[in-house]
Structure 1
Amino acid sequence: MPTRHLHVLRHGAADPFGELSGEGERQAELAGRRLAALPVDAVWHSPLPRAARSAQVLAAQLPGVPVAAAPELTDHVPHLPDPVPPGWEDFFDDEDRAEAADGARLAAALTARFARPAATETHEVLVTHAFQVAWLVRDALAAPPESWLGMPYGNASLTTLEYRDDRGASLILSNDMGHLPPELRWTGFGPVARP
């Protein structure tokens, strides 16, 4: 039975302008080295600069593997809970509320394109954003839509999902940062303990 392996990464650390930082370049390079042991068929990335550059750096470790943008991977709020859970009111602004329908459409397109079996055995790398990683994991676990809120993903962390026709999705690995040295883990999440 062919398996579709999705190796999903959040982009590397970015500067305040959304460009990949020096730390982010190093994170992406180390993620590429880790993925080099796999038979990767394609690298897909969000069209936003931090993800596109992360994919380029990562793919330098995967000679000959095609790299392309996938609009479904762009950064967006995949689901806006109604009502908003206590403690999250400040997180969502008026722009998120206005774009809720578009976010739901993009979230549905993301799962329709990537969260399903393939006709042949494939290993695909998706370089995207924390919300999209969380949405794919939430979908694989068949968890309630608002569950994505409680799933933070570190920069260049690796999450692997598998899809086969004879069973539901399988979460193989989640938020794994074993390829990163401690000083490069959890970049962008503030002063918290680093795993």
Structure 2
Amino acid sequence: MATRYLYLARHGSADAFGELTDTGYKQADLLGERLAGLPVDAVWHSALPRAADSARQLARHLPQVPVAEAAELIDHVPYVPGKEEMPQAWAGFFDGFDEAEAASGERTAEALVARFTKAPERGEPDSHEVLVTHAYPIAWLVREALEAPPTRWLGLDSANTGLTVIEYRVGLSPTLVMFNDMSHLPGDLRWTGFRAADRP
């Protein structure tokens, strides 16, 4: 049975202007080393510089693999909960989101799922795609794979270049193989992108 493998990664660490830092380039390089042994067919990235630069950096370890922008990978809020389903701790986060912004985010999320989660048809080969994106699109794809309620994307955060893998097969629910794995990073390069806290 053919399988579609998605390797999802948040971009490397970036500065306040959205540009990769030296740490971000190192993280992306190490992720590329980790992915080098896989039969990757394509590397996709969002239009934002921090994701595009991360994709190009890791792709140095994937010679001959095409690298291209995918509009669906842009950083966006995929779902704004209604008042009746809003987790109280998150209520302030959505202040200022109007209906048009919420609808635009939902359309982008729908397009993301439609483009990247379709399993190969019978007779098609396996596919292996790397998606370099942002924390929210990754959270949405994980939520989708687990068939969780729409609000469950909240709190599913990813470290910079943390690796998430999802497999898709016809007739089966998606398989979440790993989430936010940082084993390719040394200790001093882990947990960037999270609030400061003691980490194991």
Determine the C-alpha separation between the residues in 2 that align with 1:39 and 1:163.
Answer: 16
| Aligned position for 1:56 | 56
Q: Which residue of 1 aligns with 2:95?
A: 93
Asked whether the equivalents of residues 45 and 69 of structure 2 are also in contact (C-alpha less than 8 Å), the reply is: yes
Aligned counterpart, 1:12: 12
Identical positions, percent? 58
Instruction: Tell me how far apart the structure 2 counterparts of residues 193 and 72 of structure 1 sit (CA, whole Å).
Output: 34
Instruction: Give the one of 161, 183, 186 matched to 1:181.
Output: 186
2:146 alignment partner, one of 131, 141, 145: 141
| Structure 2 gap ranges (5+) | none
Per-residue displacement from partner, 1:134-161 (whole Å, max 9, x unpaired)?
A: 0000000000000000211111000000
Tell me what 1:161 maps to.
166
Aligned Cα RMSD in Å?
A: 1.1
For the 8 Å contact 1:185–1:194, the answer to whether it is kept is no
Instruction: Tell me how far 1:98 sits from its aligned partner.
Output: 4.3
Structure 1 partner of 2:47: 47
2:3 corresponds to: 3
1:142 and 1:163 mapped to 2: Cα distance? Answer: 13
Q: Which residue of 1 aligns with 2:106?
A: 104
Q: In the alignment, is the contact (CA less than 8 A) between 1:46 and 1:69 conserved in 2? A: yes
Alpha-carbon distance in structure 2 between the residues aligned to 1:193 and 1:37: 33
Structure 1 runs (4+) greater than 6 angstroms displaced: none
- Secondary structure of 2:174's match? strand
AA aligned opposite 2:32: G
Matched-pair contact (CA < 8 Å) for 1:77–1:96: no
Deviations 1:109-156 (A, max 9, x none): 000000120232111000000000000000000000000002111110
**Is the partner of 2:112 in helix, strand or coil?**
helix
Report deviation, 1:35: 0.3
Q: How many residue pairs were aligned?
A: 195
Gap runs ≥5 in structure 1? none
Which residue of the partner structure matches residue 78 of structure 1? 78
TM-score, normalised with respect to structure 2: 0.94
Measure, in 2, the Cα distance between the counterparts of 1:15 and 1:89: 27
C-alpha deviation, 1:96, in angstroms: 6.0
Match of 1:35 in 2: 35
